[in-house]
Amino acid sequence: MSSERPLDGLRVIELADEQAEWAGKLLADMGADVIKVEPPAGTNTRCIGPFVDDIPDPERSLHFWHYNTSKRSVTLDLSTRQGRALWLELAAGADVVIETAVPGSLDAIGVGYDALSLANPALVMTSVTPWGPDGPYANFATGDLIQMAMSGIINSCGYDDHDIPPVRPGANHSFHIASHHAVIGTLVALHARDSIGRGQHVDVAVHDCASVCVEFAATHWFYTQRFVERQTGRHAHPQFTARSTFLARDGHYANMSQTRDERVWAAIVRWAHEAGLGELFDQFGDATDRFARGSEVLAAYEALVAEMDSEEIWHRGQQLGMTWGAVRQPEDWLDDPHATDRGFFQVIEHEGVAGPLKYPGPPYAFTAHPGRLARAPRLGEHNAEVYSALGYTPAELTTFREIGAI
């Protein structure tokens, strides 16, 4: 393996909140030099918990740590003339700017795409906005819950009992979805830069991206004007389908499905005999009989799974070639032999704040030139090195600090 990384040499300036910090992180972990531009008080995501020892502090946010690995941080106040000048200088020396400013707000102070591309025609600028730069909802207030609702995603998530509200899956997935599209748009524009000889503006709206991340709900409507119905722990579908998650002996859930494969069925019956539930399963005949008596089979599954551990269902099912799984918690992977064998987690030191911590590595294993994570930056940690590389002296930096520019 080489110490070179895929995006070595790529310079990115990021002025982003939770909508696109994930995009900057994905680029930074793969070698891009991502300079995170923060207001002097810090990006607001430093205030999102959980915090180390539950002590709220901009340098203790685990949310910020996860979403900002491998970046450098500079501070800069865009409401000051000197701050705007520094922003323009940073963008002039960059390949990419990723930003989530309120639509029009950068242009209003003369530092939006028009100004930046004039100074640096090769610049790719990717703007991530909640709803798009203009249009009837452009000024709507946002948030992950609102985006997930408006996209149609939440309409598919929840329980068989429709008196229970539909559910927003945990974590800020609308921002993950938008960030993935922001990275793709950025890299496509960089690819095109070599052909057309200039950069361009990439417009990504969270609402657009999430609204085409709904799988079957879209095509059932497009082609047959049918709604999908949310169902507990499985796909939303125009009809109600058979339950596929069952509570196991260890208190966790496991996935298990009906099968027409007699070899698999025979194995399930063997497990049932081992668990003392043979009689319950011996009553069923061939696949035709089993599918005709679907609810009885599911009741039998329920009894069987209750006598087994969720991980056992998963591994034994897989040995039969079935796509069964266990409903794990994310932290279950920390000491998992598969993750360990693949070197998935990477350890990052947090001197003086926390012990060494395992972070999930990049979501794609480049086998010859893998990504490498580094600790998220402290606020303004790289002011001196970044601004002195622009040619400013320590005395000038002191002045910038005194006038509140950085």
Partner 1 sequence: MLPLQDVRVLDFGWAMAGPQCTRLLADFGADVIKIESAERPDLGRVSFGPHPFGQDAFGFDSSGYFNNFNRNKKSLNLNMQCPEASGVFRDLLAVSDVVVENYSAGVLARWGWTYETMKAVKPDIIYVSMAGPGHRGPYRDYRTFGPTVQALSGLTYLSGFPGERPAGWGFSYMDHTGGYLAAIAVLMALYQRKQRGYGEYVDLSQIEGAITLTGTAILDYQVNGRPSAPQGNHSNHPAAAPHGIYRCLDEYGGRDRWVAIACYTDDQWEAFVATVGSPAWTSDARFSSLLSRRDSQDDLDRLVEEWTRPQLAHDVMRRLQKAGVPAGVVQNHKDLTERDEQLAHRGMFPEVIHPKLGEFPMDGQPINLSETPGGIRRHGPLWGEHTEGILRDLLGYEPARIEALTAAGALR
Alpha-carbon gap, residue 9 to 11, rounded angstroms:
6
Site for partner 1 in 355-394 (CB under 8 A): 355, 357-369
Stretch that binds partner 1, among 34-42, 72-80, 101-109, 139-147 (CB under 8 A): 139-147
Give whichever of 82 and 142 is closer to partner 1, judged by the CB atom: 142
Burial string for 110-119 (b: 16+ CB within 10 Å, else e) reads ebbbebbbee
Among 41, 171, 306, 390, binds partner 1 (CB under 8 A): 171
- Tokens linked to 378: 């402290």
Site for partner 1 in 197-236 (CB under 8 A): 198, 200-205, 207-209, 211-228, 230-236
CB of 395 to partner 1, least distance (A): 37
**Helical spans, DSSP H, in 5-80:** 21-29, 62-67
Among 279, 288, 338, 391, binds partner 1 (CB under 8 A): 338
CB of 130 to partner 1, least distance (A): 10
Determine phi and psi for 273, rounding to 5 degrees.
Answer: -65, -40
Alpha-carbon gap, residue 4 to 161, rounded angstroms:
53
Q: Which of 384, 383, 358 is nearest to 373 (CA)?
A: 358
Give whichever of 225 and 395 is closer to partner 1, judged by the CB atom: 225
Among 196, 251, 279, 351, binds partner 1 (CB under 8 A): 196
Q: How many CB atoms lie within 10 A of CB 135?
A: 12
Give whichever of 104 and 394 is closer to partner 1, judged by the CB atom: 104
By the rule CB under 8 A, 142 interacts with partner 1: yes
CB of 388 to partner 1, least distance (A): 27
CB of 286 to partner 1, least distance (A): 22
Alpha-carbon gap, residue 352 to 83, rounded angstroms:
31
CB of 245 to partner 1, least distance (A): 6
Give whichever of 82 and 245 is closer to partner 1, judged by the CB atom: 245
Site string (291-330) toward partner 1, x via CB under 8 A: -----------------------x---x--xxxxxxxxxx
DSSP string of 80-133, one letter each residue: SHHHHHHHHHHHHT-SEEEE-PPTTHHHHTT-SHHHHHHH-TT-EEEEEESS-S
Give whichever of 66 and 293 is closer to partner 1, judged by the CB atom: 66
DSSP string of 160-204, one letter each residue: SSTTSPP---SS-HHHHHHHHHHHHHHHHHHHHHHHHSS--EEEE
Among 96, 97, 98, 177, binds partner 1 (CB under 8 A): 177
By the rule CB under 8 A, 250 interacts with partner 1: no
Site for partner 1 in 77-136 (CB under 8 A): 131-132, 134-136
Alpha-carbon gap, residue 334 to 232, rounded angstroms:
28
Cα–Cα distances in Å, from 310 out to 252, 266, 317?
Answer: 6, 20, 11
Among 334, 384, 390, 403, binds partner 1 (CB under 8 A): 334
Site for partner 1 in 4-33 (CB under 8 A): 4, 6-10, 26, 30
E strand or H helix that includes residue 245: strand 245-247
* Binding footprint of partner 1, residue count (CB under 8 A): 150
